[in-house]
Chain A
Amino acid sequence: MENLLNSYTGKIREVTIGGDGLIVGGQNTLPFYLFEGEMPHKPLVAMEVLDIEPTDWPPALTEPLSGVLNDPLKWAKKCEDLGADLICLYLLGTSPDGANKSPEEAGELTKKMLENIKVPLVIYGSGDKEKDPKVFTKVTEAALGKNILFGPAQEENYKLVAGAALATQQNVIAFSPLDINLAKQQNILITQMGVKPENIVMDPTTGALGYGLEYCFSILERLKLAALQQNDTMTQMPIICTVGKEVWKVKEAKVSEAEEPSWGNAEKRGINWEVVTAFTLLLAGADIVVVRHPKSLEVLHALIKELLS
């Protein structure tokens, strides 16, 4: 079997998140190909927390998280207790189309969140291209010295977002819309701003199972092959996939059994949808997957443990 082994010239960069220095990346082999390389740091499973109470989540999600969904601090604490590697705070409430919370409120929440939990923090803005940079200025100030990972830095606002990362020495998420060339381009642009490559994590857009998963899958495989086989330094950043946010809005994951009797038990179906999406992307090259359901966290942790054993 020895002549079936490949070797790689490149390796994925190590990015350190959080005050205690949790490292993601560092592998010199395809995902879980431990027979021919090393994954010194395990892929991470983050749990998503919203800054506003979700209104459109199915019972499969609200039941296991009942009692904390209206309080991001309690919610994050619960996720930490459940064993999440990271908390991913999604500042949906700052969206001008929604609750339009102020950057100051977001900064305040970040500060309290960091006092409240020990696991490192990832923060996503609402995605609003004008509002996000203002929010990030406050968020990164509040997180000074805590080495958070935040974004997305999009094509239209990357200069301001990267600026906030540079000013406070924190890690930034380079977002690109489902296109390998744009993913690479975004890394180049952000490093040209002066952000170090080891402070960047890529978000090449996540597609849920049945809703573009195959595109995301192949982009991840191609990014990892370029990074490892061709030693392309601008594809060597670790990858984050926002699985839960995509999965739990699709019909197959959330409709009740009463509405679709032929699809079977809704809770199990939703969890399977999330786990299958996340696991498929981990096998393609995701370094961090963000999920919503506690059971998904448990199953994914066990799968990663088994493959790394």
Chain B
Amino acid sequence: MALTGLDIFKKLPKTNCGECGVPTCLAFAMKLASKQAELDACPYVSDEVKEELSEAAAPPIRTVEVGFGENAFKVGGEVVMYRHEKTFFNPCGFALLIEDSASGEEIEKKLSQVKSSQFERIGQILKADLIAVKYSSGDENRYLSLVNKAKDLNFPLILICSDEGVLKKSLEATKGTRPLIYAAQERNVDSMASLALEYQVPLAVKADSLDNLSSLTEALKSKGVKDIVLDPGSRSLKKTFENLIFIRRAAIEKKVRSLGFPAITFPNEEVSDDYFEVAYAAGYVVKYGGIVVLNDLSPEKVLPLFVLRQNIYTDPQRPMQVEEKIYEFASPDENSPFLVTTNFSLTYFIVSGEIESSKIPTWLGVVNTEGLSVLTAWSAGKFTSEKIASFVKGKSIAERINHKKIVIPGYVAILKGELEDELPGFEIIVGPREAGDIPAFLREWKT
């Protein structure tokens, strides 16, 4: 699958012209192999070679882009079965389903959810990614008016429409916005392919078995359609779970190119109860869903799903970090305790959770340790007395508290002496080793 630098080098002009920005063709080839350069940077390589190299270097699952501009949504491009093997790259997307047969009031409510159900967490905005607009009223004007309304929200669209005439009009109305069209099936594969090619949009394909799905994508590829999203047609948790595993396995372990595409799932069609819709969707976040279509975006339903996606798609090698700053709990004042800890998100969450639950006004200084936990950061030299001292000075902590006491985590008790040397006038107090003991510690606190 992955080509080596030497394999690539053989196909390059070998003139060492340097126009790609790298002095030699060999060095350029090495950069290509490690994905630090793009083949397009070479002005002399032939189209034929380009095609050959891009096919060979393509990830086992194609990355498909829906929408355009800064709201464009990218899905696929995964290379492993389990996140610990490397990471999952492109977070799956959540789509809000709106049917044109719904009442005007219902439609307005759903459209407003797209903006209201957004949350900030660890420096990321958590939100839905797409709006799926479904033609079910039989009234084409009604559908087109909904498509236009959804388009105005600047979210990537999925046009779910079984009438090709209406679909074509919707594509005209959304020209240039690159919606995903749904869906090519055995009966309409030729005409849907033509629409996808004419309007340069990604195409979803639906079949009742993986074998049939695979033949359909072969047919589409031979016509030149490259951006494909798979719907294995199943509408039950058990069967969809199985299909998603098979699709991912086929693409990654068996290099089956015809199934090397992201998959779309419809928990909204599999079950009507809200709790189950959330649970099914969670299952597809964990196990290989690419786009997950939901009936609504009520915050109590989507917040857990958005956070799950953030968790599962975190790079296991790059821990989540929180911002270096002073966090305040329960309006602390100049007499409140001042604790310091590291900026590893889990450390922060656990420590802040315990402080919050104690309801005792507290300052928490979070030092940037590049996302390492207390002990790891200490042993890596990223949570040292110098670092803590410069944080304390840099953030003018002396002005916030009048007791001049700083509490350090129990695990770095060893830093007490050094820190007192670095911070004359401050008393360094060794706090608990475990976060769970923080509330008791805070209750005993006396200035």
CA distance A217 to B84 in the complex (A): 10
Given contacts A4-B249, A217-B311, contact A268 B274 (CB under 8 A): yes
A269 within 8 A of B: yes
B316 within 8 A of A: yes
- Whether the Cβ atoms of A264 and B303 lie closer than 8 Å is yes
A303 within 8 A of B: yes
> Which residues on B sit within 8 Å (CB–CB) of A212?
346, 349-350
B30 within 8 A of A: no
> Which residues on B sit within 8 Å (CB–CB) of A262?
116, 119, 299
CA distance A306 to B241 in the complex (A): 11
A35 touches which of B242, B298, B305, B356 (Cβ 8 Å)? B242
Taking the nearest CB of chain B, how far is it from the CB of A192, in angstroms?
27
> Which residues on B sit within 8 Å (CB–CB) of A215?
346
- Of B211, B254, B279, B283, chain A has the most CB atoms within 10 Å of the CB of B279
> Which residues on A sit within 8 Å (CB–CB) of B211?
1
Chain B interface mostly helix, strand, loop or mixed? Answer: helix
- Of B84, B287, B353, chain A has the most CB atoms within 10 Å of the CB of B84
- Whether the Cβ atoms of A276 and B300 lie closer than 8 Å is no
A213 touches which of B82, B308, B353 (Cβ 8 Å)? B308
> Which residues on B sit within 8 Å (CB–CB) of A303?
237, 276, 279, 283
How many of chain A's residues touch chain B, expressed as a range? 35 or more
Task: Considering the complex, give the chain B residue whose CB is closest to the CB of A252.
Answer: B303
Taking the nearest CB of chain B, how far is it from the CB of A240, in angstroms?
19
- Whether the Cβ atoms of B311 and A56 lie closer than 8 Å is no
- Whether the Cβ atoms of B84 and A280 lie closer than 8 Å is no
- Residues of B218-247 at the interface with A, using a CB-CB cut-off of 8 Å, are 236-238, 241-242, 245-246
Given contacts A210-B121, A210-B349, contact A306 B236 (CB under 8 A): yes
> Which residues on B sit within 8 Å (CB–CB) of A299?
275-276, 279
B238 touches which of A214, A266, A276, A307 (Cβ 8 Å)? A307
How many of chain B's residues touch chain A, expressed as a range? 35 or more
> Which residues on A sit within 8 Å (CB–CB) of B314?
214
> Which residues on B sit within 8 Å (CB–CB) of A284?
286
B130 within 8 A of A: no
A275 within 8 A of B: yes
A221 within 8 A of B: yes
Mark each residue of chain B from 128 to 163: 1 if its CB lies under 8 Å from any CB of chain A, else 0: 000000000000000000000000000000000000
Taking the nearest CB of chain B, how far is it from the CB of A75, in angstroms?
22
> Which residues on A sit within 8 Å (CB–CB) of B311?
209-210, 213-214, 217
A66 within 8 A of B: no
- Whether the Cβ atoms of B82 and A225 lie closer than 8 Å is yes
Taking the nearest CB of chain B, how far is it from the CB of A107, in angstroms?
25
Chain A interface mostly helix, strand, loop or mixed? Answer: helix
Task: Considering the complex, give the chain A residue whose CB is closest to the CB of B313.
Answer: A214
- Residues of A122-175 at the interface with B, using a CB-CB cut-off of 8 Å, are none
Taking the nearest CB of chain A, how far is it from the CB of B124, in angstroms?
12
CA distance A1 to B310 in the complex (A): 32
Mark each residue of chain B from 383 to 410: 1 if its CB lies under 8 Å from any CB of chain A, else 0: 0000000000000000000000000000
- Of A210, A251, A266, chain B has the most CB atoms within 10 Å of the CB of A210
- Whether the Cβ atoms of A272 and B278 lie closer than 8 Å is yes
- Whether the Cβ atoms of B303 and A283 lie closer than 8 Å is no
Taking the nearest CB of chain A, how far is it from the CB of B215, in angstroms?
14
- Residues of A193-224 at the interface with B, using a CB-CB cut-off of 8 Å, are 207, 209-215, 217-218, 221-222
A90 within 8 A of B: no
CA distance A221 to B299 in the complex (A): 29
Task: Considering the complex, give the chain A residue whose CB is closest to the CB of B246.
Answer: A4
B83 within 8 A of A: yes
Given contacts A1-B246, A209-B308, A276-B282, contact A263 B275 (CB under 8 A): no
Task: Considering the complex, give the chain A residue whose CB is closest to the CB of B354.
Answer: A249
Given contacts A210-B121, A211-B350, A279-B279, contact A3 B242 (CB under 8 A): no
Task: Considering the complex, give the chain A residue whose CB is closest to the CB of B280.
Answer: A303
Given contacts A283-B287, A302-B276, contact A269 B299 (CB under 8 A): yes
- Whether the Cβ atoms of A252 and B250 lie closer than 8 Å is no
- Residues of B237-289 at the interface with A, using a CB-CB cut-off of 8 Å, are 237-238, 241-242, 245-246, 249-250, 253-254, 274-276, 278-279, 282-283, 286-287
Mark each residue of chain A from 253 to 281: 1 if its CB lies under 8 Å from any CB of chain B, else 0: 00000000011111011011101100110
Taking the nearest CB of chain A, how far is it from the CB of B287, in angstroms?
6
- Whether the Cβ atoms of B304 and A269 lie closer than 8 Å is yes
B301 within 8 A of A: yes
A52 within 8 A of B: no
A272 touches which of B236, B304, B310, B350 (Cβ 8 Å)? B304
Taking the nearest CB of chain A, how far is it from the CB of B327, in angstroms?
13
- Whether the Cβ atoms of B312 and A214 lie closer than 8 Å is yes
> Which residues on B sit within 8 Å (CB–CB) of A269?
299-300, 303-304
- Of A4, A6, A303, chain B has the most CB atoms within 10 Å of the CB of A4
- Whether the Cβ atoms of B278 and A97 lie closer than 8 Å is no
CA distance A217 to B350 in the complex (A): 18
- Whether the Cβ atoms of B275 and A275 lie closer than 8 Å is yes
CA distance A284 to B237 in the complex (A): 16
- Whether the Cβ atoms of B300 and A268 lie closer than 8 Å is yes
Taking the nearest CB of chain A, how far is it from the CB of B43, in angstroms?
43
- Whether the Cβ atoms of A272 and B299 lie closer than 8 Å is no
> Which residues on A sit within 8 Å (CB–CB) of B238?
306-307, 309
> Which residues on A sit within 8 Å (CB–CB) of B246?
1, 4
CA distance A265 to B85 in the complex (A): 37
A33 within 8 A of B: yes
- Whether the Cβ atoms of B304 and A252 lie closer than 8 Å is yes
B307 within 8 A of A: yes
A295 within 8 A of B: yes
B357 within 8 A of A: yes
Supply 30 A–B pairs (Cβ within 8 Å), ascending by A.
Answer: A4-B249, A209-B311, A210-B307, A210-B310, A210-B311, A211-B346, A212-B350, A213-B308, A214-B83, A217-B286, A250-B349, A251-B353, A251-B356, A262-B116, A263-B299, A264-B299, A264-B300, A269-B303, A271-B275, A272-B301, A275-B279, A275-B282, A276-B305, A276-B308, A280-B308, A284-B286, A299-B276, A306-B236, A306-B237, A307-B241
- The 10 A-B pairs of least Cβ separation, nearest first, read A264-B299, A264-B300, A269-B300, A214-B311, A268-B300, A210-B307, A218-B84, A276-B282, A272-B304, A276-B304
Please report A residues at the B interface, Cβ cutoff 8 Å: 1, 3-4, 6, 32-33, 35, 56, 97, 207, 209-215, 217-218, 221-222, 225, 249-252, 262-266, 268-269, 271-273, 275-276, 279-280, 283-284, 295, 299, 302-303, 306-307, 309
Other than the known A215-B346, A276-B282, what 18 A-B pairs have Cβ atoms closer than 8 Å?
A: A4-B246, A33-B245, A210-B307, A212-B350, A217-B311, A221-B83, A251-B353, A269-B299, A269-B300, A271-B275, A272-B275, A272-B278, A272-B300, A276-B278, A276-B305, A279-B283, A299-B275, A307-B237
